Amino acid sequence: MKIYHNPNCSKSNCALDLIKHQGIETEIIDYVKNPPSKAELTHILKLLDKSPKEIIRQNEVVFKENFESKDFNDEEWIDILVKNPILIERPIVIHNGKAVIARPAEKIMELIK
């Protein structure tokens, strides 16, 4: 299992606690300090079956100040997310070729059924 985690986020910490409680070996990626590459983010989006715009945290100051009223294509949004990883919705959990945005944390259970 892999979790794209922000240790400053209560929802992300809750998801990580749930994973640990399940006893599943987990790779923890602090994606704000170590953002995914463009190829990696593209792969994550495919696993989530979402467009880049669907995983943007639109309440973040960075979004409101720089991107809110602008229109970009998917590739441009991916570039923006790679350069501004704080905008990526969290936490993203990947397991056995599937992924979820674990909000609420119980969505992780969909991956381990």
From the number of C-beta atoms within 10 Å of its C-beta (0-12, 13-18, 19+), residue 9 rates as: middle
Give catalytic status of residue 14 as yes or no.
no
* Candidate list 2, 5, 8, 9, residue with the active-site label: 9
Q: Rounded CA gap, 91 and 34, in Å?
A: 14
Residues recognised as catalytic: 9
